[in-house]
Amino acid sequence: MKRRGFLTTSAATLGALAALKAQAADGPVRRVGLIGTGWYGKVDLLRLIQVAPVEVVSLCDVDSKMLTEAADIVASRQKSGKRPRLYSDYRKMLAEKDLDLVLIATPDHWHALAMIEAVKSGAHVYVQKPTGVDVIESQAMLAAARKYNKVVQVGTQRRSTPHLIDARERVVKRGLLGKVAHIDICCYYHMRAKENPPDSTPPDYLDYEMWAGPAPKMPFNSLIHPRKWRAYMEYGNGIVGDMCVHMLDMVRWTLDLGWPRRISSSGGILMDKNSRANITDTQTATFEFDNVNAVWTHRSWGDAPDPKFPWAGIIYGENGTLKMSVNNFEFMPRGGNAKPISGEALFEYAKYPKDETEKDLERHVASAVRGHMLDWLAAIDENKRPVADIEQGHISSASCILANLSMKLGRSLQWDPMTHRVVGDEEANKLLARPYRGPWVHPDPESV
């Protein structure tokens, strides 16, 4: 553990994490399956193995090479040393009906069908964000979780990030900001693909037909798999659907905000017109809540206005400003007697030495993922909603999807969360569900 990280995490937060770890350690051995064994699938699963008595019995992926590599890692990391069963079709894995927990870390266009089938099979689910690739998918996921009475945690782990919990408790809950009327959320990472690769034959270890599933089956190229599929709107929702979801969810949680009542967005491919990527490189979106607006900006080129907070949420209050990121937070008071408060990411290398050497692990995020897993398990034990319950994930995800629809239509959208419709805009409402490629059938919230 970095000493600096330890000193900037409050005793209360550390105590709460310790209590959750003790509760998980005393719990039953749960049988686990993972759907999607790529980058974040392994990040999530290996953090779960670190904090709870689980047995990973099943892994599923349409990439047989990735699947085999994940099985080797799991066998070396779980206590039993056993190698999980391997599947290429999640439906066959879930048909066994022998899993207590299912983790889903597929590309976005597969989240909904896999999550709905998992709760039907009797499992509690941890699903990566965004909840769905369209609004109706996301709504159906919420309906399924409630119908089958399963605890579904969404991978918006800012809600379980130790230094951000501190910021919420030490700054916001104590009223140090005063009245808040504006929020900036942003991402200035140069993360949009710049390549223009030729079409090619899918590798023989990838079932590309199943990979595409309900989404359009585009001609294969190296941007599609592995890991770069976010270059295409066909399989996700661009940088808004990837990065804005996290920051919007973070500030919603920090300030206890619900649905935005109006959403507007504009942007496009304004800088890099050569890449095959069809997602925007520049976009703004305004999420209007009752008494505060959250304004998103992303730009995958140029410099960030504040190099210390390139992916961040900034809450402006009458008595001060709170800046929050995955790495740190800073509260800067405006006059008065309050003092600056800051905190940094918690590193736990002494407890979890694998964090230092694990390939592709975002080390500053490891403690947040562990906390998120512990919160999920505690919610299952206590039959309550987890901190990033599927409803909260649905609100943040659908709001970002609506921002993209606003940009596409060129007008703001007034949202009615009771009817799950855009008020007075049937053209927008027709876009709430994307067409599915057969034989896959789009989920219906009324009949999941």
- Averaged pLDDT, 395-412: 98
**CB atoms closer than 10 angstroms to residue 447:** 8
Residue 4 confidence (pLDDT) above 80: no
**CB atoms closer than 10 angstroms to residue 142:** 23
112 with 215, same domain: the answer is no
User: Does 168 map to a domain?
Assistant: no
User: Does 293 map to a domain?
Assistant: yes
Would you call 390 helix, strand, or coil by DSSP? helix
Residue 220's pLDDT is 98
**CB atoms closer than 10 angstroms to residue 316:** 17
Mean pLDDT of the chain: 96
- Sequence-separated contacts (24+) of 283-287 with Cβ below 8 Å: 283/238, 283/239, 283/240, 283/407, 285/240, 285/244, 285/400, 285/403, 285/406, 285/407, 286/262, 287/248, 287/260, 287/263, 287/399, 287/403
Strands 341-344 and 413-416, sheet pairing? unpaired
**CB atoms closer than 10 angstroms to residue 433:** 18
User: Does 244 map to a domain?
Assistant: yes
Among 267, 239, 253, 255, smallest CA distance to 182 is for: 255
**CB atoms closer than 10 angstroms to residue 19:** 12
- Averaged pLDDT, 214-235: 97
118 with 198, same domain: the answer is no
User: Does 58 map to a domain?
Assistant: yes
Cα(252)–Cα(1) distance, integer angstroms: 30
User: Does 340 map to a domain?
Assistant: no
SS percent in the chain: helix, strand, coil, step 5: 40, 20, 45
Q: Which of 158, 190, 206 is the last residue of a domain?
A: 158
Residue 108's pLDDT is 98
- Averaged pLDDT, 57-75: 98
Taking CA 261 as the corner, what is the angle to CA 256 and CA 263, rounded to the nearest 5 degrees?
Answer: 110
95 with 30, same domain: the answer is yes
Residue 5's pLDDT is 40
- Backbone phi, psi, residue 101, to 5°: -130, 140
Band of the pLDDT at 8, cuts 50, 70, 90?
low
146 with 88, same domain: the answer is yes
- Averaged pLDDT, 82-92: 98
DSSP β-bridge partners for residue 187 = 298, 311
80 CB-contact burial (10 Å; exposed 0-12 / middle 13-18 / buried 19+): exposed
- Region of 206 (left: φ > 0; alpha: ψ -120 to 50; beta: rest) is beta
Among 369, 310, 379, smallest CA distance to 162 is for: 369
Do 152 and 145 form a contact (C-beta atoms < 8 A)?
Answer: yes
Helix segments in 344-436, DSSP class H: 366-382, 390-409, 426-429
240 with 114, same domain: the answer is no
94 with 144, same domain: the answer is yes
Angle in degrees, 0-180, between the axes of helices 111-120 and 135-147, rounded to the nearest 10: 10
| Domain assignment of residue 65, given as a range | 3-158
User: Does 135 map to a domain?
Assistant: yes
153 with 218, same domain: the answer is no
- Averaged pLDDT, 164-189: 97
Q: Which of 158, 193, 215 is the last residue of a domain?
A: 158
Residue 78 confidence (pLDDT) above 50: yes
User: Does 186 map to a domain?
Assistant: yes
> Poorest-confidence range of 5-19, 120-134, 183-197, 343-357?
5-19
Residue that the structure tokens 């599927």 belong to: 390
282 with 416, same domain: the answer is yes
CATH of the domain at 209: 3.30.360.10
CATH of the domain at 77: 3.40.50.720
Residue 309 confidence (pLDDT) above 80: yes
- Averaged pLDDT, 340-354: 97
- Averaged pLDDT, 223-250: 98
Which DSSP state fits 171? I
- String of b and e for 108-138 (b: at least 16 CB within 10 Å)? bbbbbbbbbbbbebebbbbbbbbbbbbbbbb
- Backbone phi, psi, residue 413, to 5°: -120, 125
62 with 92, same domain: the answer is yes
How many angstroms from the chain centroid is the CA of residue 20?
A: 22
94 with 222, same domain: the answer is no
User: Considering its fold, how many domains does the chain have in total?
Assistant: 2
66 with 140, same domain: the answer is yes
User: Does 96 map to a domain?
Assistant: yes
131 with 214, same domain: the answer is no
